[in-house]
A and B are shown apart, each in its own frame.
Chain A
Amino acid sequence: MNFYLDNENLSFYLHHPDMEQVVAVREKNYAEAGNHPEAPADANEAVEQYDTVMRLLGDIAGDVIAPNAESVDHEGPQLVDGHIEYARGTRQNLDALVQAGLYGMTLERKYNGLNFPRVAAVMAAEIIARADVGFATIWGLQDCADTIQQFANDDLKNKYLPRIYQGATCSMDLTEPDAGSDLQSVRLKASWDEASNCWRLNGVKRFITNGDADLHLVLARSEEGTNDGRGLSYFVFDKADGGMKVRRIENKMGIKGSPTAELQFTNAPCQIVGERRLGLIKYVMSLMNGARLGVGAQSIGLCECACREAEAYAASREQFGHSIDKFVAVQDLLRQMRARTDGARSLMYETARYVDLAVSSKPASRIADILTPLVKLNASEFANRCAYDCIQVHGGSGFMKEYACERLYRDARILSIYEGTSQLQVVAAMKGIAGGAYLKQIEAYDAKVSAFDSLTDEMRRQQSLLRKATESYKRLYELVSSEGTSSERFDHSTRALTEVLSYIIMAYLLLLDSQRDNRFMDSCDFFVKEAVGEVHKHLAVYEN
């Protein structure tokens, strides 16, 4: 089974009209064409390359990773002599992906990377997550290499980046017992060792995903006497250099194949990434945005898997003389699952395109920044909802361990928590809400829809409803911010505002997608109704 070829939505976004611009930016206007045996000469060739590699990845996801998911969930990783041994299936997955040369997909060619854009990386993550979300966390952490590529000096890049291609695993060591969402409180100490000409780490990190990785990016306090984010720097630690021990691995509810560890650093030698004091305020924030998009991809992969599990079960399970997918109540569940998956996916690839364009465009960078929390918030919440509905479609059977939906339900739960909870995504969206950036983006989408030369009546109707919903949103915003954006009333409304904006944006994106393929109109209709319903629910309260 090929998890890329059997899902035509993936190719649809790989061939999005804006990809021409994305590829041109990524390929620096094809500067390497003719000078490197893999460099594409134009956008068509580049997209063909992405397609080729996604086919390969789709094979591995369908034939290796997905069949291993159940045993990996049962077996889990083990702690042996202070180090972690992956489940057998996890090791097989890693070996297949490394042998296939898929690690380091976004790295530059000089580091043995494929120089693929974020759009392709996110698609790879989605495909792998559909096979196994737990494994997708291990795979996704190679994004740490992007931070090294972006901010480290050439010595570090030359030393570490080629190892990613060879399969070196990564972890992002931020959380500590007293520093979770509040990373300014990180206490792990980094001190300069003059004699060895390196930094030394001392302290404890907790809840570290893939904690026994080969390469660690560690947030640590390099400035003695400080107690906020400005005293933190970022370090790269190589496990082979010693000084780190895994104290325990957590017994988790889901994503059991992905080891979550507590780490003890004792005089562990490491190198600083970039400049001192910029660890949290610049580098982690950059890494975090990428990680949030990554969790979006994991969530959508899980949604896709849940949709398929539910659709297949509903088509095969017979009650009252018919397969249950003939019953409207079940059809509604399946449609809603599919719509949420479509909406989150369209938003994610839109965001990924802006992340790619952000390299050479300030406005694109600002749009990427406002869309990223919406991806993380909505995709992760939808993943939970899809997993819930998947069990619902299975009925009593779904409550038994025999069906994959039980694992999906457990795996989904972390998605709206790690890399920033849903509540923190709402906080991250506030700047765009208060500053009007989301409304500006909605106006741009509306103009794009209007510019389409063959709008159907149904498309016009949805556009008109979306315009009304946007006007209602503006009224709601004015009502809840009437006492200022620091008021309690405003604070209590931020989630609702963020969700309404999200639904409007996803509906517009699906409307735009429908211009290339009409099959998205059902899902567009779902989000239009969600937007209209949600905004009027709150308006009804505040207007009276």
Chain B
Amino acid sequence: MKILVCITHVPDTTSKIQFTANNTKFDTTGVQFIIGPYDDYALARAVELRDQTNGKLTVLNVGEAETEPTLRKALAIGADEAIRVNTFPKDSFFVAKQIAHYAKEGGYDLILMGRESIDFNGGMVHGMVGELLGIPSFSPVMKLDLDGTTVKMAREIEGGKELLEAQLPLIAGCQEPIAEWKIPNMRGIMSARTKPLNVVEPVAADTQAEATGYQLPPAKGAVKLVDKDNVSELVKLLKNEAKVL
């Protein structure tokens, strides 16, 4: 079985978000980049499924050279090979076109990625790739098991979940608790250095909704503390000042 996992290269969840160049660029000063947390869940499950089926696991990122350490980390976690599509990920549609092209070329049975990237939070690339390839897409998937070519999944919905059954090939946007994150061990880190990381050129694709400028939310005022023995004061404030009751 051939599995493709698409990963994003995103700022660590604890990063301070700031912009530069007149609010047109993300400020990478002091920011550590990681595999997207949701992608990390997808990757962890993919490693298990690769082992279970004796298959092959390819990991792909659409990004420029600075994303290679992130791809190497995915190799250290257990992917067999990596592909970097050498271009800046301009918008979701542009990225989906790149993934669809290389996914088609590779003929994968199962394509996994995170439910959304934690930078732009669009949560749409998996669905777009599914439609472009003409295969079913599911998200957010919190459980995924294989039974031959049948895939049994649980998809989170508001206030609960849906249990689903579908046939390969398919694509899924993943989230916890699909698998436990895997920490690379020393052997993984050593072998990652020699595993293939292929750099390929992007295919021509339009952009449809590019970000042109950024803003930070207005700063929050200081907290108003209410004495613990005077909780009715809080009720009054919520009612009359905040007007949320």
Say if A and B assemble together: no
Interface residues of B (CB under 8 A from A): none
Task: State the A residues within 8 Å of B (CB).
Answer: none
